Amino acid sequence: MSNALPPFQRFLDSHRDVVWRVLVSAVGPDEAEECFQETFIAALRAYPRLRADSNLRAWVLTIASRKALDAHRARTRRALPVEDVTAVQDGETARRSAASPREPDRELWDAVKKLPSRQRSAVVLRFVGDMPHREIAQAIGCSEEAARRSLHEGLVKLRKAVPA
């Protein structure tokens, strides 16, 4: 049986947590819900055609990062004037950042969400998804070198945006 695909339910149980973390990190909790559904529905549709020896974790994170990208694009298309909103958010961000160290650093994650898409995908897949560069490259559809570069550029921007 080891050379057969696991029942989809087991695949879902094994990977739902990491998919959820990656999606919330990439698009925030509100859109993560929709992206999560889309990711696993797409996975379910394609599942029987998958080779049994596929890296299922990398496969589903690749789908998730594409769904996150779609969500970002959709949001950009319906972009609203945000200046006032930003002002309000900044006040809130400052308050929330000061909260317990167990909570995510709002300033950092807001900066992640503002990264160019390839850098954002690379950062989220590398750190939240714990993926090697080779798999990140496959997920975002570029060379391994380009993936390394995107990751590096993303980290440089984050260090500037969020001084320690």
| 73 lies in the binding site for other proteins (CB under 8 A) | no
Sole residue written with tokens 């496969």: 59
| 109 lies in the binding site for other proteins (CB under 8 A) | yes
Q: Which stretch binds other proteins (CB under 8 A): 21-29, 78-86, 89-97, 136-144?
A: 21-29
- Min dist CB 28 to other proteins, Å, is 7
**What is the Cα–Cα distance from 92 to 82, expressed in whole angstroms?**
15
In 46-59, which positions are buried (b, 16+ CB within 10 angstroms) versus exposed (e)? ebeeeeeeeebbbb
State which of positions 37-66 bind other proteins (CB under 8 A). Answer: 37, 40-41, 44-45, 47-48
Q: What is the largest CA-CA distance in the chain?
A: 58
Binding residue (CB under 8 A) for other proteins from 24, 64, 115, 122: 24
Number of residues that bind other proteins (CB under 8 A): 46
Q: Which of 53, 40, 63 is nearest to 6 (CA)?
A: 53
Task: Report, in this order, helix, strand and coil percent for the chain, each rounded to 5.
Answer: 75, 0, 25
Binding residues for other proteins, per CB under 8 A?
Answer: 1, 4-10, 12, 16-17, 19-22, 24-25, 28-29, 32-33, 36-37, 40-41, 44-45, 47-48, 102-105, 108-109, 112, 123, 126-128, 130, 155, 158-159, 162, 164
